[in-house]
Amino acid sequence: MDVRTALAAVLGIGLGLLCLLSPGTVLTVQTAGRLPQDRSGEYGTEGDGSGTFRRLVQVVGGVLVAGGLYFAWQALAV
Protein backbone atom coordinates (compact mmCIF):
# COMPACT_ATOMS: atom_id res chain seq x y z
CA MET A 1 0.00 0.00 0.00
CA ASP A 2 1.36 3.41 -0.98
CA VAL A 3 1.61 5.51 2.17
CA ARG A 4 1.02 8.85 0.44
CA THR A 5 -2.07 7.57 -1.34
CA ALA A 6 -3.40 6.18 1.94
CA LEU A 7 -2.64 9.51 3.62
CA ALA A 8 -4.45 11.37 0.83
CA ALA A 9 -7.45 9.11 1.42
CA VAL A 10 -7.57 9.47 5.22
CA LEU A 11 -6.88 13.22 5.36
CA GLY A 12 -9.15 13.93 2.38
CA ILE A 13 -12.09 12.11 3.95
CA GLY A 14 -11.39 13.78 7.32
CA LEU A 15 -11.23 17.30 5.89
CA GLY A 16 -14.22 16.59 3.66
CA LEU A 17 -16.32 15.51 6.63
CA LEU A 18 -15.30 18.65 8.49
CA CYS A 19 -16.43 20.77 5.53
CA LEU A 20 -19.72 18.89 5.35
CA LEU A 21 -20.51 18.91 9.07
CA SER A 22 -19.04 22.24 10.16
CA PRO A 23 -18.81 24.61 7.17
CA GLY A 24 -18.78 27.62 9.51
CA THR A 25 -15.47 26.48 11.00
CA VAL A 26 -13.86 26.24 7.56
CA LEU A 27 -15.24 29.66 6.60
CA THR A 28 -13.85 31.18 9.80
CA VAL A 29 -10.41 29.75 9.07
CA GLN A 30 -10.48 31.09 5.52
CA THR A 31 -11.87 34.56 6.26
CA ALA A 32 -10.40 35.48 9.67
CA GLY A 33 -7.85 38.25 9.13
CA ARG A 34 -9.01 38.72 5.55
CA LEU A 35 -12.38 40.16 6.53
CA PRO A 36 -13.47 41.39 9.97
CA GLN A 37 -15.08 38.43 11.71
CA ASP A 38 -17.65 40.68 13.34
CA ARG A 39 -18.62 42.16 9.96
CA SER A 40 -21.60 39.85 9.63
CA GLY A 41 -23.91 38.82 12.44
CA GLU A 42 -24.90 40.77 15.49
CA TYR A 43 -22.58 42.93 17.51
CA GLY A 44 -20.42 40.90 19.86
CA THR A 45 -20.61 37.76 17.76
CA GLU A 46 -18.71 36.48 14.80
CA GLY A 47 -20.55 35.99 11.55
CA ASP A 48 -21.22 32.46 10.46
CA GLY A 49 -20.93 33.13 6.76
CA SER A 50 -23.73 33.39 4.26
CA GLY A 51 -25.82 30.37 3.32
CA THR A 52 -24.29 30.42 -0.15
CA PHE A 53 -20.72 30.21 1.12
CA ARG A 54 -21.65 27.52 3.65
CA ARG A 55 -23.17 25.43 0.87
CA LEU A 56 -20.10 26.03 -1.30
CA VAL A 57 -17.87 24.71 1.50
CA GLN A 58 -20.15 21.67 1.82
CA VAL A 59 -19.88 21.03 -1.92
CA VAL A 60 -16.08 21.19 -1.59
CA GLY A 61 -16.43 18.79 1.36
CA GLY A 62 -18.38 16.38 -0.83
CA VAL A 63 -15.67 16.54 -3.49
CA LEU A 64 -12.97 15.92 -0.87
CA VAL A 65 -14.81 12.89 0.54
CA ALA A 66 -15.32 11.51 -2.97
CA GLY A 67 -11.63 12.10 -3.75
CA GLY A 68 -10.62 10.49 -0.46
CA LEU A 69 -12.76 7.42 -1.19
CA TYR A 70 -11.23 7.13 -4.66
CA PHE A 71 -7.70 7.19 -3.24
CA ALA A 72 -8.72 4.74 -0.49
CA TRP A 73 -9.93 2.38 -3.20
CA GLN A 74 -6.67 2.88 -5.09
CA ALA A 75 -4.57 2.32 -2.00
CA LEU A 76 -6.40 -0.89 -1.14
CA ALA A 77 -6.36 -2.11 -4.74
CA VAL A 78 -2.55 -1.93 -5.03
Partner 1 sequence: MAVVGSLLFGFYAVAAVVLLAMFGEGVLPLVLVGSVLFVGVQYKIGKWAALRSVGAEDLSEDRYPQIHQQVKHLSTDMGIDKPRLMIARMGVPNAFAVGRKGAGTVVVSEELLRLLDADEVEGVLAHELAHIRNRDVVMMVLGQGIASIVAIVAQWAVLLTGDNDLADFFLAIVVGQIVQMIVMVFVLAISRYREYVADSDAAAEVGGEPLASALEKISYGSQRADDSAIDEQVGALCIFGEERGLLAKLFASHPPVEKRIERLRN
Give contact residues for partner 1 (rule: CB under 8 A).
2, 4-5, 7-8, 11-12, 15, 22, 24-25, 28-29, 32-51, 54, 64, 67, 71, 74
Cβ nearer to partner 1, comparing 20 with 28: 28
Q: Are 74 and 1 in contact (CB under 8 A)?
A: no
The answer to whether 64 and 57 have CB atoms below 8 angstroms apart is: no
To the nearest whole angstrom, how small is the minimum distance from the Cβ of residue 38 to partner 1? Answer: 5
- Inter-residue contact 68 to 9 (CB < 8 Å): yes
Least separation in angstroms between CB 17 and partner 1: 12
How far is the C-alpha of 74 from the C-alpha of 78, rounded, in Å? 6
- CB of 46 vs partner 1, minimal distance in Å: 5
